[in-house]
Chains A and B, each alone.
Chain A
Amino acid sequence: MLIVDSVDAGYGHVGVLEAVSLCVQPGSIVALVGRNGAGKSTLLRVISGLIAPTKGGIRFEGLDIAGKRPHTIVNCGLLHVAEGRRIFRNQTVADNLELGLYGLTISREEYRRRLEPVYSMFPILRERRDQLAGALSGGQQQMLAIAQAVIRGPKLLMLDEPSLGLAPILVDQVFDAIVSLRRSGVAILLVEQMVERALEISDYCYVLQSGRMTADGAARDMARSDALRTAYMGDHDSGSN
């Protein structure tokens, strides 16, 4: 449903991605892994339209979305939950969720109907719906960020480091949510630094290294592959992670 075909992209004159290709099948979870600075977030930003690719094509459900503006891409059903819990802190939880539906013409009933599954996925959001989003804990903010995208009924959800900085119990909740979203038919492109956990729930995996795809394969096989170890450790240096 999502096909990224040899895309080049970067910031200004600095190239970050080079001939990157990737494919997400309907209803699958695809993990995108690689070291910090490999270009994972940049790739998501290119797909969601925050950065225009300088070369290559991006198709979503047959539609050419390369270089389209973000709100157009959102309206195609491709949602991006950016890294760092980018919610609107000065507005209430309920307002944040309402903003998740911005631009859709839906009735008050429909709004409430869409709220229900989101609240049952993250019950804490219902409890704290009238509080400012900035007053939520980090984990709750991450749930709100995901909920904001989920309420819109995405076909493909891109999650950038959803577990970053969360307590282990909240990480479990976030991963459970991802699995249950897939069960309801949402495809997921997951960028995650907890590689093992990401591979456990993923169907397919891509490894990005210094702006290039260096390996890909079924998540099951990748968990044991050398390509992954190389990507994280590098050939020589002791590297990060």
Chain B
Amino acid sequence: MDPDILVRGLTAGSLYALVAVSFNILYRPTNVFNFAQGELVMLGAMLFAAGKSTVGLPWPLALLATLAAVGTLGLAEEFIAVAPILARSKTGTGWVITTLAISLIVSNLVGWIWGPDPILVKPPAPLSLDTFEFAGLRLNSYVIALAALTIALVALIERAYRTLQGKAVLAVAEDREAALLRGINPARLSRWSFFLGGAFAGLTGILAAPILYASTSMGPALLLKGFAAAAVGSIGNNRGALIAGYLIGITEAVGASLLSPGYQEAVVFLVVLTVLLMRPQGLFGLATTRTV
């Protein structure tokens, strides 16, 4: 078997899990899937790359600037593309088109500014992509750090849902009207979620940049597989997204090594389709019931 399987599976899996979590952050208070999420990830990678190499910022500063910028774009998206739709109807689905429009605008703007060439981003100092052997498997320090950080971030997000604001988000997700009657303002939580979900997408892009290179083409692939991870792990369930992310990442790596890299996508979506046909609510979701 291909000795790089673990590296590839863990790397891709971490990124899919992170994209899936960023989907969930936005989904919970709004019931909206942000189809621009993949492009926000891409924008994060590009801004960070530009900030570091073009402007010459030290990486912590480039990181903060990127998070703030992508978060703000998420917020702007909420104002332009989501809030007006939800104001008209809580169950309207116009956001499918408007968020897709934002996705195309971001993608085209970035392509226009930076061009199609991928930008190389090196991992920060002690970490590197140099592989070493460990128990017959090849690993590198960046991948280990990435997986550890992914797990830590999911734990952090889950903790955030234990705060009062987090509980309010869950309350809105469960019964928006009941939340309104308890003094919760869903519009405010929705804005915060878009800001934080945007920043989280930006962070995902920064983490992806050393592996995938920063380029306009990274958006769509991450969008699709991140969405698949969110669906398989049950929409809204972050622990589910984490496990499903790795499941998909490793399936992809195994598929690529057993068949050929050309078939890896087919293998992934075959698995995703099979899971969702058997459990439409995902692996970790309860089929929800509401008793009256």
Contacts and interface: CB of A to CB of B under 8 A. Distances in A.
Contact of B174 (A70, A82, A90): A90
22 contacts: A50-B180, A71-B183, A71-B185, A74-B181, A74-B182, A75-B183, A79-B181, A82-B178, A82-B181, A86-B177, A86-B178, A88-B174, A88-B178, A88-B179, A89-B174, A90-B174, A98-B164, A98-B167, A99-B182, A100-B182, A102-B168, A148-B182
Main secondary structure of the interface of A (DSSP, over half): loop
A4 to B, nearest CB: 18
A84 interface: yes
A99 B185 contact: no
B133 interface: no
A98 B171 CA distance: 11
B162 to A, nearest CB: 9
Interface residues of A, number: 28
Nearest to B162: A95
Interface of B: 164, 167-168, 170-171, 174-175, 177-185, 290, 292
A147 B180 CA distance: 16
Contact of B181 (A48, A89, A91): A48
Most buried by A among B171, B182, B290: B182
A33 interface: no
A202 to B, nearest CB: 23
Contacts of A69: 185
Contacts of B164: 98-99, 102
A48 B170 CA distance: 22
B171 A88 contact: yes
A29 interface: no
A90 B170 contact: yes
B5 to A, nearest CB: 38
Contacts of A152: 183
B182 A50 contact: no
A128 to B, nearest CB: 17
Contacts of B171: 88, 91, 99
A152 B184 CA distance: 13
Interface in A150-166: 152
Contacts of A100: 182
Contacts of B178: 82, 86-88
A86 B175 contact: yes
Interface string A56-99: 00000000000001110011000111101011111100010011
B263 to A, nearest CB: 40
A99 B181 contact: no
A5 to B, nearest CB: 23
Given A84-B292, A86-B175, A71 B180 contact: yes
Nearest to A141: B291
Nearest to A103: B183
B188 to A, nearest CB: 9
A91 B183 CA distance: 17
A88 B170 contact: yes
Nearest 9 interchain pairs by C-beta = A86-B178, A74-B183, A70-B180, A71-B185, A103-B183, A88-B171, A71-B183, A80-B181, A102-B183
A99 B179 CA distance: 9
Contacts of A50: 177, 180-181
Interface in A118-168: 148-149, 152
